[in-house]
Amino acid sequence: MVGGIRGTFPTSDSIADLGQAMKALPDQWEQGFTTFCVKPSMFIDDLSEVPAFCREAIRQATSLVG
């Protein structure tokens, strides 16, 4: 099953908080989801930040669901 995270935007021109959005993963993991979709543009503004963003998303997911 495929799950995912969704960012919440504090203002109309801000990015979402990755840590806040990742809090949804443990519940999905417990329900049997093993693949998670993430849209980087919800959490970063600059394309050059994608590699670091991906590393951070994996780090956070691993710490939350083991």
65 confidence band (pLDDT: 50, 70, 90): confident
pLDDT digit string, tens, across residues 9-47: 999 999 999 999 999 999 999 999 999 999 999 999 999
Residue at token pair 């600059």: 46
pLDDT digit string, tens, across residues 42-61: 999 999 999 999 999 999 99
Beta bridge partners of 4: 37
Residue at token pair 């998670």: 36
Q: Which domain holds residue 50?
A: 2-8+15-65
As for how many domains the chain has, the answer is 1
